[in-house]
Amino acid sequence: MKDSTNYKDQITSENYSGDNREIAIRMHPQKLAMYISMLSMTMFFVALTSALLFKKGQDWFSFAPPALFYYSPILVVLNSFLLHRATNLYKSAQFKPFRNHLLLALLSAVGFFLVQWFTWKGILDMRLDRRVVSAAFFYVIMLMHALHLLGGVSALLVVWFKAWRSRKDELFELRNIINPRRVLSIEVLTLFWHFVDGLWIYLFLFILFNYT
Amino acid sequence: MADLTTNPNVVNPSHEGQVDQGHDHGHHDDHHHEETFLTKYVFSMDHKMISKQFLITGIFWAFIGGAMSLLFRLQLAWPESTFPFMETLLGRWAEGGQLSPDFYYALVTIHGTVLVFFVLTGGLSGTFANFLIPLQIGARDMASPLMNMLSYWFFFASSMVMFCSLFIETGPASGGWTSYPPLNGLRDVAVNKGSGLGFDLWLTSISLFIVSSLLGGLNYISTIINLRTRGMTLSRLPLVVWGLMFAAILGVLAFPALLSAAVLLEFDRLLDTSFFLNNIVINGELLAYKGGSPILYQHLFWFLGHPEVYIIIIPAMGIVSDVMSVHARKPIFGYKAMLISMLAIVVIGFFVWAHHMFVTGMSPVLGVVFAIFTLLIAVPSAIKTFNWITTLWRGNLRLTVPMLFCIGFVSLFITGGVTGIFLGNPAVDVQLHDTYFVVAHFHIIMGVAAFFGMWAGVYHWFPKMFGRHMNRTLGYMHFWITLVSAYLVFFPMHFMTGFPRRYWSFTNFETFNTMGNLQAIITIAAFVVFSAQILFLTNFFYSIFRGRPVTEKNPWGATTLEWTTPIRPGHGNWEGNIPSVHRWAYDYSTANGDVGQNVPLQEGEVVH
C-alpha cells in the first residue's frame, strides 16, 4: 500500500508507534482488518460461484439475463470513480465538491440497486421455476451481493450526512482534516466500495460466461 | 472506527516517559475512567473481561453438551431399561423413562454442535486469543475493542438462539451436527421432527456464530500484525500467539464457505429452491425438487468442517508448547520447526476436506489426491510431537497441574493421530466410515486433546486472569480422573469398528451382541469423566472468589510479557510505558537463569 501522506504517518505516530510499536505493515490496523475482511468476503463468493460451477458440471439450464443487466457494471465503475475522487477532494480540503461527489456516489448506488431490481423482475417474468438451479443461483448471487452493498450504502449515508450537516461550517471540515479518525473512516469506506464494486465486475463476468 | 476514542492503544499522554512501575494496584480501573457494573462486566471492551466472558460461556456449554452425552450414553448402555428421572427432565421426549429416538438424535446433534463450535472454538480461541494476544505481544488492547465486544455478543446471541431451540415444541435440530441435506433440506416435521423450527434456529445460531468468529478473527490478525511492542518481531512471538493467529486465518478463510452452505440450505428450506435437493419421494409422493445435489452441500460444509478441526487444535498446540516450556524450564525444542509445522498444517489443511467424503462415490483418483494430502499432515504433526517430547527430555520438570495436562495432551494427540492415518486411506475409510472407530478417533484428537490444551491454559493463566490460584489438589484429581476415564470412554470404541454410529439401539442386531457390556463400561466411564468436571467447575468458581491470592507478579517464573503486568492489570494492561522486547520467549535455564523477554541482552549474549 502507498503510505506516503502526512496524515497517515500522523495516525501511526500518534496512536501506534508513540507507545513503542514494532510496525510490520505501515497501515492502520482497522484498514488492515478491512483488507482481511475483504479476503473473507471473497471466500464467501468464491464458495458460491464454485458451487455454481459444481452444479453446472452436472446439468444446467442457460438463459440470457434481461438487457438492463448489462448496464450494471457501468454504474459500479462510476461509483468507484466518484468515491475515489471524493477521497482525494477531502484530502485537498475541497469540501463542497467532496459533498457533491458523495451524493453522486450515493445516487449511483441507488441506480445500481434499481438496475438489479429490474433485472430480478425480468427473470421473474421469464417464469422460470424457482427450482431451476441456474435461476436460483442467479437470485442468490444478486441478493448476497446486494446485502453487502446495503452495508456500504448505510455507511455512505452516515458520512454524507455528517458532511452535509457541516456544510456551512468550513472550519469544522478544516479542523477535521487533521482528525485521523475522519480520514480513516473515509478511506476505509472507499476501500469497501471499491471491493464491492470490483466484486460485482467479477460476478457480472462470471454470470456472463456461465449463463449465455 | 468510532471506537478509536475508547481504544486504550492510544497513548495516555500523562503516562509518557514513565517507566513501568509494575506494582500491584489491587483493583482494575485504577488509571482509567470510572466504570459501572455494566461497562466493566457486561458490555466491557477490555480484552481480558471479554476473554472471561468467552470462557464462562464456553464452560456453560461444555456442561450442557456433556450432560447431553450422559443421557444418550445411558440409552446406548441400557437400551431396554427405563430411567424415570429422564421423563421428569425431558417430559414427552422420554415417555416411560426411555429416551425417544427423535430426541436421541437431537441430543447427539446438539452435543456435537455446541462442543465443536461453542466450546472448542468460541470457548478455546475466544478465551485465549482475547486474553493472550494483547498481553503477550505488548498491546493495551485489541485493534478494535468495539469489534471485539461485538464478537462476544454475537457469540452470546448465537448461544441464546441455540439454547431457546432446546425448548420448542418440535424439538431442537436432530439431523446431525453436519446437517446434511436432503434430511435437513426439508422443513417437513413429519419426516424428521428436528427439521422444523429447530433446524431454522440451528442455522440462525450457526450464522450468528460465524459472524462472531469473523469479527474476532479479523481483530486477532490485525492486532498481532500491527500492535506488537518494540522488539517483538514475528520470530519472537510465543508459539501460542502464532497458533491463535493461524487459527484466525483459517477461520476467516473457511467459515465463509459454511456460511454460503447455510444460506443455500435455508433457501431450499424456506423458498423451495433446489440447490441440494433432487427427486425426493416421501410416503410414495414425488416432491417437486429437481436438479439439486446433496453432495455439493458436503463439499461446502467440509471446506470449513475440516479446517475447523485445526481451528480447534492449533491454539491448543500453541498453549501446550508454551506452558510445557515454562514448566519444563527449557526452551521449546525447535521453535522454527514448530512454527513451520503449524504453517504446513494450516496450508495442507485446506486441501483435505474431501477425505470426509470417500463414501460419496467420488472418483478414486480424486480420492487418492485427497488421501495423499491427508497423510502428508502426519509429517508436521509428527514433528510437533517429537518436539514436545524432546522439550520434556532432560527438562527440570515441574509436574504442576497445567504441565500434567500438557503431557496428557501429547499422549492423546498421539493416540488420536495414529488412527487418523488409518482413516486417511480411502480403502480403509470405506470400511470404517461412520463407525465407532471414527467416533473414537475424532473424540480423542479434537475433543479430549483440545480440552486438555484448554485446561492447561486455564490452570496456567488463571492467576493472571483472576489474581488467585486454583486449588492444586482438586486440579490433580481433575487431571487423573479425566485422563484415565476419558481413555476408558474412547479407547474401547476402536474395537467396535463395525458398530455404526448414531444408532439409537443395537439390540435388534445379532451381529452387535459380541461386545458384551462394553457400552455399559463406556457409559460408566463417561459418568466418571463428567463428575471430574464438577470438581473442575467447583475449583474454578471457588478459586475466583476464595482462591489463594497471587502475591507475586510472575508465580510460574515465565518469560513472556503478560507476567510483567500488575497482578490485577487494569484496562490498558501496563501502568507506564509498555515494555520493549529484547529476546525470544524461551530463555529458560540459561547461564543468566530464566530471563524475561523484556530484559535487555547481557554482554556476550546471542540475540534470538
Counted across chains A and B, CB pairs separated by less than 8 A come out at 158
* Orientation angle between helical segments B127-137 and B239-271, nearest 10 degrees: 140
A138 part of a folded domain: yes
DSSP code for B17? T
Position A3 in a domain? no
Are B278 and B346 in contact, with CB atoms under 8 Å apart?
no
All residues of chain B having their beta carbon less than 8 Å from the beta carbon of residue A27 are 226
Q: How does DSSP assign A142-180, residue by residue? A: HHHHHHHHHHHHHHHHHHHHHHHHTTT-HHHHHHHHT-H
By CB atoms closer than 10 A (0-12, 13-18, 19+), residue B51 is buried
Number of domains in chain A: 1
- Position A8 scores a pLDDT of 34
Nearest-Cα distance to chain B for A43, in Å, is: 6
Q: Which residues of B touch A21 (CB under 8 A)?
A: 226-230
Predicted local distance difference test score (pLDDT) of residue B192: 75
* Closest partner CB to B289 (pick from A36, A48, A131): A131
What pLDDT, on the 0 to 100 scale, is given for residue B110? 97
Residues of B with Cβ-Cβ distance to A18 under 8 angstroms: 11, 16
Instruction: Please answer yes or no on whether B11 and A59 come within 8 Å at the CB atom.
Output: no
From CA A128, how far away is CA B442, in angstroms rounded?
45
Contact A48 B252 (CB under 8 A): no
Q: Is the separation of the CB atoms in B294 and B359 below 8 Å?
A: no
Q: DSSP states of B297-317 as a string?
A: HHHHHHHHHHHHHHHHHHHHH
State the smallest CA–CA distance between residue B48 and chain A in angstroms. Answer: 20
Q: Which residues of A touch B296 (CB under 8 A)?
A: 51, 54-55
Q: How far apart are CA A86 and CA A100, in angstroms?
A: 8
Helix (H, G, I), strand (E, B) or coil at B468: strand
Answer whether B344 touches A (CB < 8 Å). Answer: no
DSSP character at residue B429: H
Give the best residue of A8, A15, A25, A30 to mutate against chain B (max B CB count within 10 A). Answer: A30
CA A124 to chain B, closest CA, distance in angstroms equals 14
As to burial, measured by CB atoms within 10 angstroms (0-12 exposed, 13-18 middle, 19+ buried), residue B222 is: buried
How far A211 CA sits from the closest chain B CA (Å)?
Answer: 16
Cβ separation B233–A22 shorter than 8 A: yes
| Residue among B260, B267, B288 minimizing CB distance to A136 | B267
**H-assigned helices in A22-132:** 29-56, 72-91, 95-125
Q: Are A187 and A153 in contact, with CB atoms under 8 Å apart?
A: no
Q: For residue A149, give how far its alpha carbon lies from the nearest alpha carbon of chain B (Å).
A: 17
Alpha helices in B497-564 (DSSP H): 518-546
Q: Searching chain A, which residue's CA lies closest to the CA of residue B230?
A: A22
A130/B292 Cβ within 8 A: no
**Are the CB atoms for B423 and B436 separated by under 8 Å?**
no
Side-chain-facing half-sphere of A175: CA atoms under 13 Å: 5
User: Which residues on chain A place their C-beta less than 8 Å from a C-beta of chain B?
Assistant: 14-16, 18-25, 27-30, 32-33, 36-37, 39-41, 43-44, 47-48, 51, 54-55, 58-59, 130-133, 136-137, 139-140, 144, 181, 184-185, 188
Chain A environment of B214 (Cβ under 8 Å):
37, 40
Please report whether residue A168 resides in a domain.
Answer: yes
Q: Which residues numbered 234-293 in B keep a CB inside 8 Å of some CB on A?
A: 234, 252-257, 259-261, 263-264, 267, 271-275, 288-293
pTM for this model (two decimals): 0.91
B272/A130 touch (CB, cutoff 8 Å), yes or no: yes
Identify the closest residue of chain A to B273 by CA–CA distance: A131
Specify the DSSP class assigned to residue B500.
Answer: B
Label residue A23 by pLDDT band (50, 70, 90).
low
Give the pLDDT score at A173. 64
ipTM of the complex: 0.88
CB contact under 8 A, A30 and B16: no
Q: What is the DSSP letter of B549?
A: B
- Closest A-chain CA to B4: A181
Name the phi and psi angles at B158, rounded to 5. -60, -45
**Close Cβ partners of B515 (under 8 Å, ≥ 6 residues apart):** B495, B496, B499
Residue B232: its chain A contacts at CB < 8 A? 22
* Mutation choice for B interface testing from A17, A36, A176 by most B CBs within 10 A: A36
Q: Indicate the burial class of B198 (C-beta count within 10 angstroms; 0-12, 13-18, 19 or more).
A: buried
Residue B549 bridge partners (DSSP): B468
**B217: which residues sit within 8 A by CB, 6+ positions away?**
A36, A40, B248, B249, B251, B252, B255
Closest residue in A to B293 (Cα–Cα): A55
Contact predicate B151/B86, CB 8 Å: no
Nearest to A163 by CA among A95, A106, A105: A95
List the one residue out of B308, B414, B318, B293 whose CA is nearest residue B352: B308
Q: Which residues of chain B have pLDDT under 50?
A: 1-32
pLDDT at B283: 84
Residue-level pLDDT at B130: 97
Query: Is residue A22 helix, strand or coil?
Result: strand
Q: What's phi and psi for A20, nearest 5 deg?
A: 60, 55
**pLDDT, tens only, A112-150:** 999 999 999 998 888 777 778 888 999 999 999 999 999
pLDDT at position B11: 36
Q: Which helix (H) or strand (E) holds B282?
A: strand B281-282
Burial of B96 per CB tally in 10 Å (0-12, 13-18, 19+): exposed
CATH code of the domain covering residue A123: 1.20.120.80
CA distance B273 to chain A (A): 5
Higher pLDDT, A61 or B5: A61
A131 contacts on B by Cβ (under 8 Å): 272-274, 288-291
How are beta strands B228-229 and A21-22 bridged, if at all?
A: antiparallel
| Residue closest to B255 by CA, chosen among B182, B310, B293, B198 | B310
pLDDT of residue A177: 63
Residue A48 lies in a domain: yes
Residues of chain B contacting A41 with CB distance shorter than 8 Å: 256
Q: Residue A16 domain-assigned?
A: no
Q: Mean pLDDT, chain A, as a whole number?
A: 84
CA-based nearest residue in chain B for residue A189: B1
Q: A153-208: per-residue pLDDT in tens? A: 999 999 999 888 877 776 766 666 666 778 888 999 999 999 999 999 999 999 99
Domain containing A172 equals: 28-211
Compare CB distances from B303 to A18, A27, A47 and report the shortest one's residue.
Answer: A47
Specify the residue for cell string 455454481: A52
Tell me whether residues B226 and A39 touch, CB distance under 8 A: no
Domain membership flag for residue A170: yes
Verify whether the Cβ–Cβ distance B257 to A14 is below 8 Å. no
* Cβ <8 Å between B580 and A44: no
Contacts of B225 in chain A (CB under 8 A): 24-25, 29, 32
A33, A47, A55 ranked by CB distance to B222: nearest = A33
A4-18 per-position pLDDT tens digit: 333 333 333 334 444
Q: Is residue A7 part of a domain?
A: no
Radius of gyration for the alpha carbons in chain B, expressed in angstroms and rounded: 25
* Residue A159 within any structural domain of the chain: yes
* B187 within 8 A of B196, measured Cβ to Cβ: yes
Contacts of B230 in chain A (CB under 8 A): 20-22
Residue-range domains of chain B with CATH = 51-564 (1.20.210.10)
- What is residue A4's predicted lDDT score, i.e. its pLDDT? 36
Closest CB from A22, A48, A184 relative to B232: A22
Task: Tell me the three-class secondary structure of B550-591, residue by residue.
Answer: CCCCCCCCCCCHHHHCCCCCCCCCCCCCCCCCCCCCCCCCEC
Per-residue confidence (pLDDT) for residue A21, from 0 to 100: 60
- Probe site for chain A from B210, B222, B350 (most A CB atoms < 10 A): B222
**Does the beta-carbon distance from B256 to A43 stay under 8 Å?**
yes
CB proximity list for B494: less than 8 A, separation 6 or greater: B419, B436, B437, B440
Q: What is the pLDDT of residue A26?
A: 67
Long-range contacts of B177-181, Cβ-Cβ distance < 8 Å, separation of 24 or more: B177/B108, B177/B109, B177/B111, B177/B112, B177/B113, B177/B116, B178/B298, B178/B301, B178/B305, B179/B109, B179/B203, B179/B265, B179/B301, B180/B294, B180/B297, B180/B298, B180/B301, B181/B265, B181/B268, B181/B276, B181/B277, B181/B292, B181/B294, B181/B297
Angstrom CA distances, B535 to B218, B450, B457, B472, B483, stand at: 36, 19, 17, 11, 14
In this predicted structure, what is the pLDDT of residue A9?
A: 37
User: Which pLDDT score, from 0 to 100, does residue B34 have?
Assistant: 67
Q: Do A44 and B577 touch (CB under 8 A)?
A: no
Q: Which residue of A has its CA nearest to B582?
A: A22
Which ranges in B230-377 belong to alpha helices (H)? Answer: 239-271, 294-328, 335-348, 364-376
Contact B293 A58 (CB under 8 A): yes
